[in-house]
Structure 1
Amino acid sequence: MSKKIIFPAFDDLPAVVGQPQGCLWGFFDNDGEKDELGTLNLLTNEIVKKAPEEIQIGKHIQLDWPLNNIEFPGFGRIPCQHNIKDLGPEGFIGHDDELYINTQTSSQWDGLKHFGLQKDGMYYNGLQHENATNTGIMGTHKWCDRGGIIGRGILVDWLSWWENSHPGQDPPSAISSHPVPVSEVEEVLKAQRTECRPGDIFIMRTGFVRWHNAANVATRKLGTYDQHHMIGLANNEETVRWLYSKHFSAVAGDTMGFEAWPYPKDCCLHEWLLCHWGTPIGELWDLEALSEECKSQQRWSFFFSSAPLRVQGGIASPPNALAVF
């Protein structure tokens, strides 16, 4: 898609029967064909052409955490299993890799079929649960078909901002359900002098990866398996309206859930982002080296690329994400 996309104000969006005000079902449909890309449609040719302007020194950083870093995944998920196969019995000197993973147990993109509307049993654009399960509709391969995810990324380094604003104090625990309000996100953007642009990939650092890297085994098990409390963006209407007003193509963070978890009954950002808007959510990204590079350059925007795994009907994928300065 190359034409400029014009959004109505949140309260002026056409009503969608049975869904809250602000739902984007049908907004990106084209000539009667149901859209399967959601806000990735914002990555128009014009937006992508401008993104390389962020490349000034050639420094590049991968944002994927090691696939096997979570030893104790929760929610019934398996840890990564990596087997190195010796090719000697096949008559060769060499090796193969064999990987068995759950895509949720390290850096990932949540696809549009990962988390549905819990009351309605539906996904983005009204896709029914049974169709999401039994067909390739809205799989992550659709992102690959359009050439992956390329654009301008911005880091909102909330953790560094918080520590600078509260010297001598420990930040809120990464394994608490501490909600980060958008008022603080705005303060971070102001302190960084970072401008949000339509189509940006919004990435927020709150400290989970740093916590996990430093924690002992028992504490890691507590935080990822025994309980499911996660720091993240606040789940409320103010956050929903703020995110809509910025028109990000995708969002990501370094936590297991992006938003604060558990979420309240009246608002869940996973439902708003994945289901109502079709916005991919990145989780468990390693933003530590990215944070240091941004501080070094005093610049928190960069060229961003991601090539998800090309799996037909995929639910989620390692991001294979790169930031280039």
Structure 2
Amino acid sequence: MRWKNRPEGSNWGDFGHDDQLGRLNLLTAERIRAAAREIRTGQRFCLSLPLDYPGGNGLNIRRHPPVLRPTYREGIAYVNFPLVKVDPRATDVLSDDQVLLSLQYSTQWDSLAHVGALFDADGDGVPERVYYNGYRPNADILGPVDYREDDGFAAHACGHDHSRANALGIETLAEHSIQGRGVLVDLAEYFGREFRTIGYDDLMRAMEAHQVDVESGDILVLRTGFAEMVLEMQREPDPHRLHNSCAALDGRDERLLQWITDSGIAAIAADNYAVERFPAREAAGAAPALPLHHHCLFKLGLPLGELWYLRELAAWLRSHRRTRFFLTAPPLRLPGAMGSPVTPVATV
């Protein structure tokens, strides 16, 4: 067993000691059949930004836009390539490419390996680095550097330059297939593009105004207008303006976090950056810098989606007095990845 203590308010072990799905376990066949009943017209909406948005790296200095390049054979680029050059009888023209892609640059899912915490899981009185359900750095989530607790987290090279999540990787979510009932809360319709940090009271007020009901196994989808602003900026994002506009969840609101626990939702996706307000409100003493990520990814195993595009779907649902839809949103089945681009599809 990987842990003796589990974080207060967590569900570690509830789905099994080796569980890597967390709240996605609630996406049962029964819940998916119920979600399928939301398909009444067959109309579909793409919920992804173009994956070269937001543009540049102003929103996150570590993440860069995708770079497309041809594939090569013997130094020859295979784009618009006449195959007759290698086979005199061939009449084909081939184009084939590859991409250098930051997996969490644009519309994305976070895997459960994305955010862990310092927590005394082994009961020795000393907090150590740990992820959902007790999975560990170096043993389960590998990187090129080992930050060792016993020498103040000094960096020690591991002799390689790659990374890999041998547990909690994004492929686990892909294999389970993220599909179910999406429930939209249109914060942009209720609050506009006002800079507002949304706690429990604000969320309940918006849900009541739009007659939104959430059930166990639903996927909560939040529209704030942020992704629409990103699109309007045409790949030249203004970080100051973006980070001072629109709603974002208050990860320090304990009542909001408790509602996420009690609601039974399987995942949260939003059209903004990080889902929660970052930087978060000041906390007394040691505390996670990303408290909503801490609660969802680390404690509950509840995936978070970011930078989804929701304008057309929201308009359609509003005009038809609906808030629910059938959602298909599997990440890439990329073994070892800690996040993934996604092209979610809403079917109504």
4+ runs deviating over 3 angstroms: 16-20, 89-92, 215-219, 221-224, 227-231, 264-267
Q: In the alignment, which of 36, 40, 50 is matched to residue 52 of structure 1?
A: 36
Percent identity (aligned): 29
CA contact (8 A) 2:56 2:235 kept: no
Indicate if the aligned counterparts of 1:230 and 1:262 stay in contact, CA closer than 8 A: no
Match of 1:82 in 2: 68
Q: Secondary structure at the match of 1:129?
A: coil
Aligned to 1:162: 191
Residue 320 of structure 1: how far off its partner (Å): 2.2
Written as runs of structure 1 = structure 2, the 5 A alignment for 1:59-208 is 59-73=43-57, 74-83=60-69, 85-88=78-81, 90-91=83-84, 92-117=92-117, 120-130=128-138, 131-133=140-142, 135-146=165-176, 148-163=177-192, 171-173=193-195, 178-208=196-226
- CA displacement 1:66-94 (0-9 Å, x = unmatched): 11012122141221112355141554313
What TM-score comes out, normalization by structure 1 length? 0.83
The amino acid of 1:95's aligned partner reads: S
- Is contact 2:56–2:236 with CA below 8 Å preserved after alignment? no
Inter-CA distance 212–137: structure 2 relative to 1 (3 Å threshold):
same
Name stretches of at least 5 consecutive residues in structure 2 with no aligned partner. Answer: 71-77, 85-91, 120-127, 143-163
1:40 to 4, 20, 24: 24
Q: Deviations over 1:264-284 (max 9, x none)?
A: 444501011001010110000
SS where residue 105 of structure 1 aligns? Answer: coil
Equivalence for 2:331: 308
Q: Output the amino acid matched with 2:131.
A: Y
What is the deviation of 1:319? 2.1
Report the alpha carbon displacement of residue 257 of structure 1 after superposing the two structures with TM. Answer: 0.4
Q: Hey, what does 1:246 align to over in structure 2? A: 263
Q: For residues 293 and 277 of structure 2, what CA distance do their matches in structure 1 show?
A: 10
The SS at the match of 2:37 is: helix
Number of residue-to-residue matches in the alignment: 293
Task: Work out which of the two has the higher radius of gyration on C-alpha atoms and give 1 or 2.
Answer: 2
**What is the CA–CA distance in structure 2 between the aligned matches of 1:216 and 1:152, rounded to whole Å?**
31
The separation in 2 between residues aligned to 1:20 and 1:124, in whole angstroms, is 10
Q: Which moved further from structure 2: 135-144 or 38-47?
A: 135-144
CA RMSD of aligned residues (A): 2.3
SS in 2 for 1:54: coil
Which of 245, 256, 259 is the aligned partner of 2:276?
A: 259
Deviates more, 1:131-140 or 1:152-161: 131-140
Alpha-carbon shift at residue 17 of structure 1 (Å): 5.5
- Structure 1 288/72 Cα, relative in aligned 2: closer, same or farther at 3 Å? same
Q: Write out per-residue CA displacement over residues 219-247 of structure 1, whole angstroms, 9 at most, x where no aligned residue.
A: 525467xx799841011211110111111
Do the aligned partners of residues 72 and 125 (structure 1) sit closer, same or farther apart at CA in structure 2, a change above 3 Å counting? same
Distance between the aligned counterparts of 1:80 and 1:295, measured in 2?
34
